[in-house]
Amino acid sequence: MKVLVIWRLLTVGGVNAGWRNRSIYFKKHGIDTEFLYTTDHGGLHIMEDVAPVYLTKDEQEIIKIIKNNQYDAIIVVDTGAAFKWLHKANYQGPVLVEARTPELIKLKPHLKSFRGIEPKAIIVPSQYQKRLVSILTDNIPIHIIYNGIDTSFYHALSADEIDVNSEPKLPNGKKIIGWIGRLDKRKNWQMLVEVAKQIKGQRDDIEFWVIGGAQSVQREEFAAKWQEENLTDIVKWFPVIPYQQMPQVYAKIRQSGGCTLATTKTESFGNTFIESMVCGVPVVASKMMPVTELVVHGEHGLLFRGQNVEDAVNQLSSIVDNPILHQQMSEAAIARVHEKFAIEIVAEQYVDLLKKIGGERAGND
């Protein structure tokens, strides 16, 4: 089987990380995946070593790619314009739609009109996202398939596997709180700044690592605020850490007795949560769906109320000040991911669905 995934944005984010893992797994099951993006946001290094990537905005070129490659199925991820391309290419094969944007207003344009194309199913990564999509569509089956993680690549490293000389380097006597992701409104770096300010006023044994944001829309605003608030001593920023290096980053956070902090306002899934957990790093995040589908409060991390800075600071302190709790959560988090989010478990559901719709097509041909 040969499958094309169409998405607008080639980012260093959860959607592409999830697809990287899936395409590796698909290959083992005789499914070749190709990717078509229109805009590069620094994510090419995630995908180019696992699958062919097309990167173009040229409509004629896109139509040619669709026509010439005889795909057995096409998966459209939050790209409303793709249905026009499929229509113009006269694509007759099965189409699946992935709905990943966690905000109704931004998701709507991608599900508004299918231009005469009839999707076989809509795939979402969480119960929360299923609720959202069901507001916008009817009569198309919605399947929940969680993002999966390759546990042979992402896992808890032993002390002697940690590369102490690579960036970021562990400082002596500091517990690390990692904040990972884009610097934008939804990921809510403003709350991170407030949390860091409070912690700086209370203690000197914590260092924050902000990982990512090199190509984010609000990187300059973040940089200005970070300096203006005199946080450069407690908050270290690493704008570019390759995806392949992240297990090392998580290993250092775990070794320090630290955790990860997510201040995000809304998510459709949250890949960094399962990455963190499978590497044995407890998570502190807001108590909301779909975070509650991934992290059980008190077991794999601690959840704070809404966007409450004080509560977030308290939850962070509870983990970093209690090595026994940290160890328990670390072990439970690893077990949780292996049980629910390992790629072989979740991608198997996707393979079954593709083979089913591929089989339907073969039956119709």
Q: pLDDT > 70: what percent of the chain?
A: 98
Query: Which DSSP string do the residues of 148-173 spell out, in sequence order?
Result: -B-TTTSSPPPGGG--TTSSSPPPTT
The count of other CB atoms within 10 Å of the CB of residue 329 is 26
- Among all chains, which residue has been given the structure tokens 């690579």? 166
- Distance, in Å, from the CA atom of 103 to the CA atom of 77, rounded to the nearest integer, reads 14
- Cα-only R_g, the chain: 21
Q: What confidence score (pLDDT) does residue 41 get?
A: 86
213-230 per-position pLDDT tens digit: 998 999 999 999 999 999
Give the right CATH number for 2-148+343-364 from 3.40.50.1820, 3.40.190.10, 3.40.630.30, 3.40.50.2000.
3.40.50.2000
Domain 2-148+343-364 and domain 159-340, same fold? Reply is yes
Residue 365 has pLDDT above 50, yes or no: no
pTM recorded for the entire structure: 0.92
pLDDT range class, residue 11, cuts 50, 70, 90: confident
**Greater pLDDT, 18 or 335:** 335
51-85 per-position pLDDT tens digit: 999 999 999 999 999 999 999 999 999 999 999 99
Overall average pLDDT of the 329-335 stretch: 98
Q: What confidence score (pLDDT) does residue 171 get?
A: 96
- 207: helix, strand or coil: strand
134-190 per-position pLDDT tens digit: 999 989 999 999 999 999 999 999 999 999 999 999 999 999 999 999 999 999 999
CATH topology of domain 159-340: Rossmann fold (3.40.50)
Residue 20 has pLDDT above 50, yes or no: yes
DSSP E strand boundaries for 187-339 = 206-211, 235-238, 259-261, 283-286, 301-304
Q: What confidence score (pLDDT) does residue 363 get?
A: 45
User: Where in the chain are the domains?
Assistant: 2-148+343-364, 159-340
Q: What confidence score (pLDDT) does residue 261 get?
A: 98
- Amino acid identity of 258? G
236-246 per-position pLDDT tens digit: 999 999 888 99
Overall average pLDDT of the 260-287 stretch: 97
